[in-house]
Amino acid sequence: MKLVAWPSHAQCRLTQQPTTLKMNEDFLKSMKEAFHLLRTKGPKEATAAVQRALARGAAEAGHTQTPQTPHTPQNINEWAQAWTQAQSRTTTPHAPAERTFDADTPGTFSTHTFSNSAGQRQYKLYVPAVYNNEPLPLIVMLHGCTQNADDFAAGTRMNAMAERLGFMVVYPNQSLAANHSACWNWFKPTDQQRDQGEPSLIAGITREVIARYRIDPARVYVAGLSAGGAMADVMLKTSPDLYAAACVHSGLAYGSAKDLPSALAAMKGAKTNRTRSRVEPQRPLIVFHGDADTTVHPSNATALVAGFDAGITTVSSPSLPAGTAGTANGRRGCTVRRLVAANGVEAEYWSIHDAGHAWAGGSPHGSFTDPSGPDAAAEMLRFFLAHPRASGTH
């Protein structure tokens, strides 16, 4: 496994002078500030932060004339490109391969690259400080469109959860070259097949982590939001031998689309001719979806659990057991359906009342989060850890 802390062109930066490095580090900090402002306030405030960074850089470089103002990013793709360029400016030959994520998570959050015949993807791996070579569960987290691993980790708080409960988390990063909005291509035929396209890359990343660390093979799970949620269901359906269960948050069912037009139609709730066959589910599934989601219609959540129709128990949030998300403590109300397939495989469907397209109970430090809950991460982990893959199953 090749550890990658910085872009691959780091070797080109060996001749940078210390003053230039300091300026570039300051510029990267300013870009981080700009991205935070972009998420919390808007493009006007973010642009102002970039302009301040440029002005400081010109002053420190000894420029007496006002530098020409570069193009200001106008959309999320251009902001992503600006972020990548800012990272490359701070490349140093001695950057560590692993680093602590933040003060609240004492483990390591490191960057890696995986390649196979389908292409190449970076991924980030969180190893908790409690890891002592004993087998731990592994959770694969697939971000949504316009997100990345860092953003998704911050918004879901999964690294802090991993430290507290003792598991590892891997976050595959979609490439902008593969999708201009950083969406997983869950709707393309090649990317819905085992050992092909993006499923082969995600499965390959999963297996690489399993090979490098002591992972309990019966407790490997996959989860995602929106396009990442749709891809999580793709992974569960195409690699049931690898994943014990899946979580789909605000996503779509495997086989819902065969191209971009049918994907957009499915997202809006149109009834499509699903390519998936009517078979009994092989692995447990937990689904979260806001009933006011206007990006991915809630009917897609119903499609996800369509095969779990042998038994259904519905519980409204006010009567949920203590410790389960509900209307208390400022949480959104929700209705939970506990389902089972004819073969005994279990599922849960959390319909979150008046919630839009966002990770329930997430942190405001990440994008597409709804802090008012319920706590999807905690409920997902409860469900996952209660459903290891049975011995001898494939």
pLDDT, tens digit, for every residue of 296-349? 999 999 999 998 988 888 776 544 443 344 444 567 999 999 999 999 999 999
Domain boundary among 89, 116, 132: 89
238/375 same-domain check: yes
Tell me, what's the pLDDT at 302? 94
The predicted model gives 231-251 an average pLDDT of 97
Closest to 237 (Cα-Cα) out of 203, 171, 283: 283
CA distance 102 to 15: 30
**Domain assignment of residue 212, given as a range:** 98-385
Residue 4 belongs to some domain of the structure: no
What gap in Å lies between CA 27 and CA 52, rounded to an integer? Answer: 10
| Total of domains in the chain | 2
Quick: pLDDT tens for 165-217: 999 999 999 999 999 999 999 999 999 999 999 999 999 999 999 999 999 99
DSSP run (H or E) holding 203: helix 197-212
Q: What is the pTM of this model?
A: 0.71
Same domain for 293 and 184? Answer: yes
Q: Are residues 296 and 278 in the same domain?
A: yes
Query: What is the rounded average pLDDT for all residues in the chain?
Result: 79
Question: Which residues are part of the catalytic machinery?
Answer: 226
Are 145 and 46 contained in the same domain? no
Nearest to 144 by CA among 333, 352, 315, 362: 362
